[in-house]
Amino acid sequence: MARNELGDLRRSAAAAGFGPGAIIDFRAEGGAPISGVAAGLEEWDRNFPPGGMRHPQAINEERLQKKLRVAGFRLAPVRDPNNDQDAERALVAVRFPAWLQCPQCDTLAREDDWGSEIGQASRWCAPCSKTALKRIYVIPVRFVMACENGHLDEFPWHAWVQHVDGCSNKDGALKLVSEGAGLSGIILSCPKCSARRSMDRIFSADTWKRFSNCRGRRPWLAAPHEDCELKPRAVQRGASNLYFPLVDSALSIPPWSNRLQEALGIWWQELRDTDPEDLPAAARMLARGSLKSVLEELGMTPEMLVAEISQRVAAWQVMNTTNLRLEEYRQFTGGAAMISADEEFEIRPQSVPAEIAGWFSRIVKVVRLREVRAITGFTRIQPPGDPQSKKIASLSVNRGIDWLPAVEVRGEGIFLELNREALEAWETQPAVAARAGIIDQRWRAEWAQRHGAGQETEREITPRFLLLHTLAHSLMRQLTLDCGYSSTALRERLYANDPSMCGLLIYTATTDDDGTLGGLARQGEPQLLRRTIEAAIAAQAWCSSDPLCIEDLMNGEEALSLAACHSCVLAPETSCEEFNRFLDRAALVGTPNDAVLGFFADLVAGARA
């Protein structure tokens, strides 16, 4: 297969929304549009050796590594422009779809049927180029096929057009012409037998029930097709539901967040697996060699290093990875400030203003934090539900690869803890529980539909979760106005998956300098944050789509949100942990007929008064 230079991709994108298995649009020579699917992890190792965690672009996050059972993580590789050996090294994308269309004559054909030159990825229509006296580049087709098992395939053009019996063009070029509005106005035809058929209803699942099962194709992997029992679905090539990365993340918290742990880096796994009796000798060897300068920087002696490593190995062995957020929550609510020059985690608790003390019990300015986000797989058609689901598509052929692609984010944020006494009084009200139960029932019904009758999800959509999630969205919207951040620069992290937790973190989610400007942490000053909270809640009292929005008339019967729309609480999907599901504005402010549904109903009433 020819290798062609397609373009550049942001490092953070290569390990998230455009990871292995994602379709990416490029521009080749002359501006020719190219569509390709990012190749699997084997290509990362093959094109950017050496592999393993001694790779110069390796990063570590001990808690997340133990949870995901990997040796470490890798940033997307970057070529060195000053290194001639890097000239031929790049991440790989495989052309997909292979069907291309001429924008002038509307001819539809496979990639090998167009004009091309050796060493170039572009394709062009020879007849149209001859007429125009310039190359008319063909473009990737709009429609592809996918299934919920993550497979990806070409649209069955010849099967769809339904050739007349005896037609000799059952594998050649077709025509795809727009003759009217909508899908019904897009006509696929065969120039040989004159068969015609519109593209109407191609996005309906019922349309494909009479077609063959999915062929199990995985073009991003150099592997045989899989057996698949599902029916494929037609999807637009650039649709947002064609790739949902399954991302797991963790904040770096003490003792895993300081300069020493970073310096241990590539030796940590070996130290961790060393016999306890041999550990002191190994630590002293590092102290005299590779870590000598770091110990001088930190003012540590070899004996102090031995003791510190022994403590960390013991802590790692008893580490509970069932719920990583529980330890983070305890750090935020510990009550003491953490300020250290060599820490990636710095927090400063603030006093809670009396005006909002009835609803909040803790405010913490997060001056500095580091988050590692690792992509473990992806889904198509539906967002991921269960990380252990069989519908999670693999990033590699070899499931024994001991690393995962990841991105690290350094930034700042604000942590809020709700008043537990007020929260428990609110969430136990029958009306509140019943409203949350509507979404919980819909979630369980969708789960059973996707995974089979009788399959139960362990997750429960509770009033507490709805409240914290909707509050996080409301605060992000208000903070973009107060701090000047873009709507995609902020992100939520919810602490509600354990009965002991009732908090949320709003933090900068970008990997560039936007994340460390200081504006968000400054907004954690008590009186500034009080005004932000009051403004955010007041803004939710009325939506431009009311009364339809607050009465849940804008969502379908199977929607996983109630009172929520783009005018009030929906956020960019890169900012939301739940793909804009499980939201209800009534959990904040109530409804016109029942104000007690809102946790902040008294705050709204006080603002109006």
pLDDT the model gives residue 53: 44
pLDDT at 127 over 70: yes
Collapsing DSSP to helix, strand or coil, 360 comes out as strand
Distance in angstroms (rounded) separating the CA atoms of residues 292 and 483: 42
Token pair listed for 366:
């997060």
pLDDT the model gives residue 101: 96
Query: Residue 518's pLDDT band (boundaries 50, 70, 90)?
Result: low
pLDDT at 514 over 80: no
Higher-scoring residue by pLDDT: 568, 291 = 568
DSSP notation for 87-146: GG----EEE---EEE-TTT-EEEEGGGSB--TT----B-HHHHHHHTS--B-EE-SEEEE
Q: What is the mean pLDDT of residues 64-84?
A: 80
Q: What pTM does this model have?
A: 0.85
Tell me the domain boundaries of the chain: 11-242, 255-337, 420-484+526-608
- Listed ranges 14-18, 296-300, 362-366; the one with the highest mean pLDDT: 362-366
Distance in angstroms (rounded) separating the CA atoms of residues 20 and 7: 16
Token pair listed for 271:
């130290």
Query: Residue 338's pLDDT band (boundaries 50, 70, 90)?
Result: confident
Strands 93-95 and 33-38: antiparallel
The type of residue at 221 is L
**Within a 13 Å sphere around the CA of 46, how many CA atoms are in the beta-carbon half?**
9
pLDDT at 3 over 70: no
The type of residue at 174 is L
How confident is the prediction for the chain on average, in pLDDT? Answer: 86
| Cβ 241 vs Cβ 235: under 8 Å | yes
Q: What is the mean pLDDT of residues 485-505?
A: 92
User: pLDDT per residue over 354-412, tens digit each?
Assistant: 999 999 999 999 999 999 999 999 999 888 876 667 789 999 987 778 889 999 888 99
pLDDT at 451 over 90: no
Query: Residue 308's pLDDT band (boundaries 50, 70, 90)?
Result: confident
Kindly provide the b/e burial profile for residues 479-513, where b requires at least 16 CB atoms within 10 angstroms of the residue's own CB: bbebbebeeebbbbbbbbeeeebbbbbbbbbbbee
